[in-house]
A and B are shown apart, each in its own frame.
Chain A
Amino acid sequence: MTRALAVAAVLLGIAHAAFAVEPSEMLANPALEARAEAIGKQLRCQVCQNESIEESGADLAHDLRVIIRERLKEGDSDAQAIKYVTDRYGDFVLLKPPVEPATYLLWFSPFVILAVGAAGAWLYLRRRPAPPDEPLDLNQRRQLERLLLDDQ
């Protein structure tokens, strides 16, 4: 337990001790820097929870930010720079999971669920029969019988 807490504290420390994008990392060319930021926002800091490398203060995120900026300075396109990172760290670093057979279920299920739900609601509304007439209770039945008898 103690060890686990220490591990958690270290992880938290990594995530928050430092700062996100440092002025010293930033590129002089504003167009290039804007591209780097846009790329960085799509890449996940592996030691943080769903924070992008642009936002994270972790050392690892710093390293990746520097790598991205170096690749862009070398003349890489955005796609090439991202590929450079995914080749080394895998698709795990992509905050937007790729659309591929393994993720079809992920990407399409929200809309499939909505469509199935809508179809279900539609059928429910269409097939609902009109509410049945209230059957007569015992007293009413007796009353009816009496009326019929009276008629006879």
Chain B
Amino acid sequence: MIIELGHFALILALAVALLQAGLTLTGAARNDLNLMAAGRLAAMAQFALIALAFATLVHAYFVSDFSVANVAENSSSAKPLLYKLTSVWGNHEGSMVLWVLILAVYGAAVAWFGDAMPPRLCARVLGVKALIAIGFLLFILLTSNPFLRLSPAPEEGMGLNPILQDPGLAFHPPFLYLGYVGNSVAFAFAVAALIDGRVDAAWARWVRPWTLASWCCLTLGIAMGSWWAYYTLGWGGWWFWDPVENASLMPWLAGTALLHSAIVVERRDTLKSWTILLAILTFSLSLVGTFLVRSGVLTSVHAFAHDPRRGIFILVLLCIAIGGSLALYAWRAPTLEPGGVFAPISREGALLLNNLILASCCATVFIGTLYPLFLDAVGGPKLSVGYPFFDRTFVPLMIPLLLAVGIGPLLAWKRGDVLGALQRLWAAFAAVIAAMLIAFYLSHGGPVLSVLGIGIAAWVGGAAMVELADRLRLFRAPWAEVARRALAQPRASYGMTLAHFGLAVTVAGIAASGFEQQSIALLHLGQTLPVAGYMLRFDGIGKHEGVNFTADRGDFTLLDGTRVVAQLAPERRFFPLQQQTVSKTAIHTNLLADFYLALGDPDDKGGWAVRAYWKPLVPFIWIGGVIMAFGGAVSLSDRRWRVGVAARRAAKGALPVDGSRV
């Protein structure tokens, strides 16, 4: 009964979305405030209905109602409660309901903060969002309905794939979707601006908080997914250029570019047409990602759906959304008035370079991901595009960006002075040389590329610090003056410093992967294995019972000379329901380096295969991601961008010109 209520609520949500589109778009066209206000209410009603539908599905999983086909196929009664609940989005149908729920959350939020915006802009944004919701609600109801019953109901469910039963992966999809789907807001703003024919600084101020929020979530989502791969797959890889990973990386790259170009629109009223195009492309890439993952066109760990009907449905949605918005762009963009002019060497020029490189990187990932499919479709040979391709294309493209990210923030708007900026960056140069010498010494002349990578990381991080010190006039002004400046700095500028510093931390973590050391051996009880100057002792092996698995658990001691560094207990977990074995690695970290241990198969003479790795700086990869997302959040808390401020100021007259730099 409850699940039928959810089914009904979702159908009603579709009706409300249709109503919302009609009310808002007609209201905006006729400038009818009543219709537009009703449209905002519809957006909130749509959210309430989808939330109800989602809640009934959560309830079905909570009580393990196996008469619901979706629950029977993806859950089981003997499972920790957390994974019962996260199973809701651990499958195709449920994850699509989460998708539309998040779409509705953003829609309701736009409606909630709508008072601050011009009513017609708000109405058109909600109208575009309603059109997207209609498409995806139809997709769920027609091809991927999680509310269907199974008769007779089975005694027990088929269970959740064991590799999904993990805290990292449990919360990876919601964050990823908050990022993906959040891009729909910027998209809706772009389409609304195209209909309106007007893009100005106020528009950029309304778009930025939404773009920032979804960018932060996407950053965390990607970091979580990569961390999960790292500790799950048993050898410490954290990025595979897997099509599904690429599907999340593309909107991230485009969204990062959008964040930067929106600054130019806001501060200098230029690059408007390009920013609109980026907003369209960012969400289009989110849709492409959804298509790649959900259609099963690329079979992969993450792709659950194998039904071509779904693929075709999403493809049609994709063509309408992307084709329609690009056609609108081609028609309306030329009417956008060009804004202020600037010299190539300037803050604007640096941000343009950022966009150029990020867009090229994004195109590279797009081509690398889809080329095998394309070649196959035109009857060419079957081939794979793996990490060696991206190492040779993506990485060289990224290096000039990383070098420029140090200089860009030190350039003035309109016309900058590169030599002056480089002179001010002497401390960053010193940091580069020191970091490279230290890396070279500690790794005993390790791989040249890794040492260079550490140097680049030091450059990005050092330059971010120099820029901050410069802004605060640290060491050049009295302390009282520095403190006054520190308090007066807008949060957004701290956000930038943090985000750039986080990037440096991530780059250091990636670069240091060349220094890792591994030992693989067959160990008997009591034997030791040397790894990177440490000794690993095999103390014992025992059976261990989980809620829905049995495990072999090894006991190991990590020794530095005679000092005990850590006790490690890697497991091999066997899930009887799925007849599947999953490796549970043991990781000892001091945040500067990880000691990574995985237990393999036994031989028949009492020996166990053991893989041990010493991975310096690897935690930096994810710590950097968290710092980046935190920087985004700090920037989001800047009162200048708080949703509504722009409107209140705009209502009073022109936007104030504040001297602070961003």
A residues apposed to B, CB below 8 Å: 1-2, 4-5, 7-9, 11-13, 15-24, 26, 42, 44, 49-52, 55, 57, 90-98, 102-103, 105-107, 109-111, 113-114, 117-118, 121-122, 125, 128, 130-131
Contacts and interface: CB of A to CB of B under 8 A. Distances in A.
A21 B300 contact: no
Contacts of A19: 234, 583, 598, 600-601, 609, 611
Contact of A5 (B304, B397, B598): B304
A131 B268 CA distance: 13
Given A23-B600, A97-B385, 10 more contacts: A12-B301, A13-B578, A22-B600, A23-B522, A24-B522, A44-B386, A49-B244, A50-B384, A96-B386, A128-B341
A95 B368 CA distance: 11
Interface string B599-636: 01101000001110000000000000000000000000
A110 B384 contact: no
A55 B237 contact: yes
A95 B603 contact: no
Contacts of A52: 386
B73 interface: yes
25 contacts: A1-B73, A13-B580, A16-B234, A16-B580, A16-B582, A17-B582, A19-B601, A19-B611, A22-B601, A23-B521, A23-B609, A49-B240, A50-B240, A50-B387, A51-B237, A55-B233, A57-B234, A92-B382, A92-B383, A96-B388, A109-B367, A114-B356, A114-B397, A131-B340, A131-B341
A95 B73 contact: no
Given A18-B601, A23-B609, A55-B235, A106 B581 contact: no
A107 B303 CA distance: 27
Interface string B505-522: 000000000000000111
Contact of B356 (A9, A96, A117): A117
B242 A16 contact: no
A23 B385 CA distance: 29
Contacts of A21: 520, 611
B386 A26 contact: no
Interface string B426-467: 000000000000000000000000000000000000000000
B161 interface: yes
B494 interface: no
A12 B233 contact: no
Nearest to A11: B299
Contact of A110 (B305, B367, B388): B367
B105 to A, nearest CB: 28
A122 to B, nearest CB: 8
A115 B600 CA distance: 48
B356 A118 contact: yes
A128 B341 CA distance: 7
A110 B363 contact: yes
Interface string B377-400: 000111111111100111001000
A95 B520 contact: no
B315 interface: no
B277 to A, nearest CB: 12
Interface in B147-173: 158, 161, 163
The 4 closest A-B pairs by CB, nearest first: A95-B386, A96-B388, A4-B306, A19-B600
B519 to A, nearest CB: 10
B356 A95 contact: no
Contacts of B304: 5, 8
A24 B522 CA distance: 8
A21 B520 CA distance: 8
A56 to B, nearest CB: 9
A69 to B, nearest CB: 14
Interface residues of B, number: 71
Nearest to B603: A24
B364 interface: yes
A11 B578 CA distance: 12
Interface of B: 73, 158, 161, 163, 233-235, 237, 240-244, 298-301, 303-307, 338-344, 349, 352, 356-357, 359-360, 363-364, 367-368, 371, 375, 380-389, 392-394, 397, 520-522, 578-583, 598, 600-601, 603, 609-611
B578 A102 contact: no
A37 to B, nearest CB: 10
A97 B389 contact: yes
Contact of A114 (B242, B360, B375): B360
B301 A95 contact: no
A26 to B, nearest CB: 7
Contact of B383 (A4, A16, A94): A94
Contacts of B244: 49
Contact of A44 (B233, B384, B578): B384
A95 B384 contact: yes
B375 A102 contact: yes
B411 to A, nearest CB: 15
Contacts of B161: 8-9, 12
A110 B360 contact: yes
A16 B583 contact: yes
A13 B389 contact: no
A4 B307 contact: yes
A100 to B, nearest CB: 9
Contacts of B385: 95, 97, 106
A83 to B, nearest CB: 16
Contacts of A57: 234
A59 B581 CA distance: 14
Nearest to B342: A125
B383 A91 contact: yes
A110 B357 CA distance: 10
Contacts of B300: 49
Contacts of B298: 49
Given A17-B581, A50-B242, A117-B356, A106 B600 contact: no
A122 B520 CA distance: 53
B382 A90 contact: yes
Contacts of A5: 73, 158, 304
A29 B387 CA distance: 28
Given A102-B381, A128-B341, A110 B364 contact: yes
A22 B581 CA distance: 16
A117 to B, nearest CB: 5
B341 A49 contact: no
A20 to B, nearest CB: 5
Contacts of B611: 19-21
Contact of A1 (B307, B339, B371, B387): B307
Contacts of A109: 363-364, 367
B580 A50 contact: no
Contacts of B344: 122, 125
